[in-house]
Chains A and B, each alone.
Chain A
């Protein structure tokens, strides 16, 4: 799959596009066409693919179950929820922001969707509640950042804390068990042998990729993240776009909330604890600049897969928790080192 990083396919007819591109280019010097191919496609994520292959080799050597279909589907299912959140976080970070609230907004949405009242109205209302909570939280984040001029770190940290509190208040700090058979059934449903959750994940990634790489919204995201002042001078409504970015992230939280409610059969304020850090780590090792303006969705998803595969390998090998934590830290550093090396070599090729 090819992936552009700076929104450089021009639609020359549109004036605005040219301006947006100009702004985007300021974030990144133009590369030669050959290096752009390597830089934009698989070449860019080569490092992460290499890490995944290494992990797979370790899996095959140390266990006899790693390469079974059932296990690989388990890894993909585990990746799907954090993966959906990571799609939203990738948008926000490419747009020059940060979203620390995703894990707890997901928890709040799962709690809201699984209250006794909403469950008695059925699955459609539950899904709508989750999406509304996610979008609402994103809107509040966006408004405070764009118009309140508070830095995203603070706004989304505050959202994390208050979403946690609200989730605890609504749930009475209990796990709200999903009694609705439709929602509970999502995680048990398979199409062609593949869990439905994996399809949802794939669909979110697909839509996210198209929006990021093939639409004006995506191009503007790169432009604003690369240089917001230039983007503003080029005539973009940076404030409105910023709100949009946080709402994309919030929407992903809403989708993930339904997924986790189904997978764990509960809505709970304890869902998604530290997911924000996992998602941000996945985005960073996926090659997205924390300062914005440059990044890929596929890299982020590969980053998520690296994390989930590591967890799977640890449990398959029955490692103790403290060993897992030490190894996880080390592997993150190795992944970033390999990733950086692969990026350097691809851009000098």
Chain B
């Protein structure tokens, strides 16, 4: 598949480089366009359902947090790429921001501009509920992406990942594998994301409950901070605390780069590891099968592509043609798949570069 965002990406990149003035020349020299391609965002194929044939022209507004992380970066790129596949969609993305007040202002701007539908990944679901409600009251269909609003009055359809299910998938994979290997009393470590986030708590709950069905429990558990640096630091220390491990679940593949670096630096390989989210690098690692990483459980940013597709259908008043319903459903929870060496080839096109 050709990469429809490549040209745009480069244009935005160069504009930015000019903006920094003196740094421009140097920046251009260190452009990040990968030599051999493959660095572009994963674009989910347009859903067969709902009719890809053109409908009424619609304008879809989009607002998401600013990325400090490959997953969020992929969210924005996927949404953009998906919108470009529809000739009947005008896509209006506002500047990403991590500031709640700015995101509220940005969404209000989109409402005032009279968009037909909004796709919103809120920085904080609770704090953006009011503006979601405001949009719905103004007759703008809101597709709430991933972090859920407090009130169903604030969105037309919610689509997001299954954090609990991620934990369950990881727990089942580890439980099955250890049981097959006949390991009694295994030491299972967990490297979580940010403990204060509900999503991290959900993942951990799913993991612990799935492991419990095998009679296993989580051993050492530490939170990193969703960054490669945090993953490296926490893992380096954790490996010292546990001279022997049987399995490790790391919640996040971005953070996992640091986790794997620490494992390599410590020269440990007596255990196997499961990742989380499904980044392309993690998948390549699984495919190569040369290290401890044997699986990852998905939390795919392709949900942004689906959200844009849903926004279009809702705005055009259409349903999803494979379903019996006349309308798009109110809520869609993605399933968390377990990617292993056996099925990695199917998932690699959906992987995001962290």
Residues of A within 8 A of B (CB): 63, 65, 68, 70-71, 74, 77-78, 112, 115-118, 120, 129, 166, 168-177, 187-188, 260, 263-266, 268-273, 311-312, 315-318, 320-322
Identify the 5 closest CB pairs spanning chains A and B, nearest first. Answer: A315-B237, A173-B67, A115-B30, A270-B227, A264-B228
Residue of A nearest to B16 (CB): A169
A187 near B261 with CB under 8 A, answer yes
B232 near A116 with CB under 8 A, answer no
B257 near A264 with CB under 8 A, answer yes
Q: Does B264 lie at the interface of the complex (its beta carbon under 8 Å from any beta carbon of A)?
A: yes
Chain B, residues 196-226, CB within 8 Å of chain A (1/0): the string is 1000000000000000000000001111011
Report chain B residues within 8 Å CB of A187.
261, 265
Q: How many residues on the B side are at the interface (Cβ–Cβ under 8 A)?
A: 54
Q: Does B72 lie at the interface of the complex (its beta carbon under 8 Å from any beta carbon of A)?
A: yes
CB within 8 Å of A: which of B23-48? 23, 27, 29-35
Give, as a whole number of angstroms, the nearest-CB distance from A169 to chain B.
5
Q: CA of A192 to CA of B232 in the docked complex: distance in angstroms? A: 23
Q: CA of A318 to CA of B192 in the docked complex: distance in angstroms? A: 13
Residue of B nearest to A315 (CB): B237
A78 near B30 with CB under 8 A, answer no
A sample of 8 more A-B contacts (CB under 8 A), given A166-B20, A172-B9, is A77-B236, A129-B30, A169-B16, A173-B68, A173-B70, A266-B261, A270-B226, A315-B234
B30 near A318 with CB under 8 A, answer no
B227 near A116 with CB under 8 A, answer no
Report chain B residues within 8 Å CB of A270.
68-69, 226-229
Q: Do A175 and B32 contact each other (CB < 8 Å), given the known contacts A77-B236, A270-B68?
A: no
The listed residue (A129, A316, A321) touching B241 by CB distance below 8 A is A316
Q: CA of A260 to CA of B33 in the docked complex: distance in angstroms? A: 23
Report chain A residues within 8 Å CB of B32.
115-117, 170-172, 176
Q: CA of A285 to CA of B233 in the docked complex: distance in angstroms? A: 22
Q: Which of A65, A169, A174 has its CB near the most chain B CB atoms (within 10 A)?
A: A174
The listed residue (A116, A120, A188, A320) touching B265 by CB distance below 8 A is A188
Q: Do A268 and B228 contact each other (CB < 8 Å), given the known contacts A118-B30, A168-B68, A173-B72?
A: yes
B30 near A264 with CB under 8 A, answer no
Q: Do A174 and B31 contact each other (CB < 8 Å), given the known contacts A270-B69, A318-B220?
A: no
Give, as a whole number of angstroms, the nearest-CB distance from A302 to chain B.
20
Q: Does B243 lie at the interface of the complex (its beta carbon under 8 Å from any beta carbon of A)?
A: yes
A318 near B31 with CB under 8 A, answer no
Residue of A nearest to B260 (CB): A265
Residue of A nearest to B189 (CB): A318
B258 near A116 with CB under 8 A, answer no
Q: CA of A237 to CA of B175 in the docked complex: distance in angstroms? A: 68
Q: Do A264 and B261 contact each other (CB < 8 Å), given the known contacts A78-B236, A270-B227?
A: yes
Report chain A residues within 8 Å CB of B289.
none
B30 near A117 with CB under 8 A, answer yes
Q: Does B254 lie at the interface of the complex (its beta carbon under 8 Å from any beta carbon of A)?
A: yes
Residue of A nearest to B224 (CB): A321
The listed residue (A263, A269, A322) touching B232 by CB distance below 8 A is A263
A74 near B195 with CB under 8 A, answer no
Q: Does B354 lie at the interface of the complex (its beta carbon under 8 Å from any beta carbon of A)?
A: yes
Q: Does B335 lie at the interface of the complex (its beta carbon under 8 Å from any beta carbon of A)?
A: no
Q: Does B281 lie at the interface of the complex (its beta carbon under 8 Å from any beta carbon of A)?
A: yes
Q: CA of A272 to CA of B9 in the docked complex: distance in angstroms? A: 26
Residue of A nearest to B233 (CB): A78
B240 near A70 with CB under 8 A, answer yes
Q: CA of A265 to CA of B32 in the docked complex: distance in angstroms? A: 17
Q: Does B238 lie at the interface of the complex (its beta carbon under 8 Å from any beta carbon of A)?
A: yes
A173 near B237 with CB under 8 A, answer no
Q: CA of A271 to CA of B254 in the docked complex: distance in angstroms? A: 12
Residue of B nearest to A162 (CB): B20
Report chain A residues within 8 Å CB of B119.
none
Give, as a whole number of angstroms, the nearest-CB distance from B102 to chain A.
15
B33 near A174 with CB under 8 A, answer no
The listed residue (B16, B195, B229) touching A268 by CB distance below 8 A is B229
Q: Does B13 lie at the interface of the complex (its beta carbon under 8 Å from any beta carbon of A)?
A: yes
Q: CA of A266 to CA of B13 in the docked complex: distance in angstroms? A: 21
Q: CA of A263 to CA of B228 in the docked complex: distance in angstroms? A: 10
Give, as a whole number of angstroms, the nearest-CB distance from B142 to chain A.
25
Give, as a whole number of angstroms, the nearest-CB distance from A9 to chain B.
39
Give, as a whole number of angstroms, the nearest-CB distance from A206 to chain B.
24
Q: Do A173 and B265 contact each other (CB < 8 Å), given the known contacts A71-B240, A166-B23?
A: no
Give, as a whole number of angstroms, the nearest-CB distance from A181 to chain B.
13
A-B contacts, 6 listed (Cβ < 8 Å): A68-B240, A112-B30, A116-B33, A175-B228, A260-B229, A264-B257
Q: Does B116 lie at the interface of the complex (its beta carbon under 8 Å from any beta carbon of A)?
A: no
Report chain B residues within 8 Å CB of A74.
236-237, 239-240, 266
Q: Does B353 lie at the interface of the complex (its beta carbon under 8 Å from any beta carbon of A)?
A: yes
Give, as a whole number of angstroms, the nearest-CB distance from B42 to chain A.
13
Report chain A residues within 8 Å CB of B257.
175, 177, 264-266
Q: Does B73 lie at the interface of the complex (its beta carbon under 8 Å from any beta carbon of A)?
A: yes
Report chain B residues within 8 Å CB of A118.
30
Q: CA of A315 to CA of B191 in the docked complex: distance in angstroms? A: 11
Report chain B residues within 8 Å CB of A320.
195, 223
A321 near B33 with CB under 8 A, answer no
Report chain B residues within 8 Å CB of A269.
68
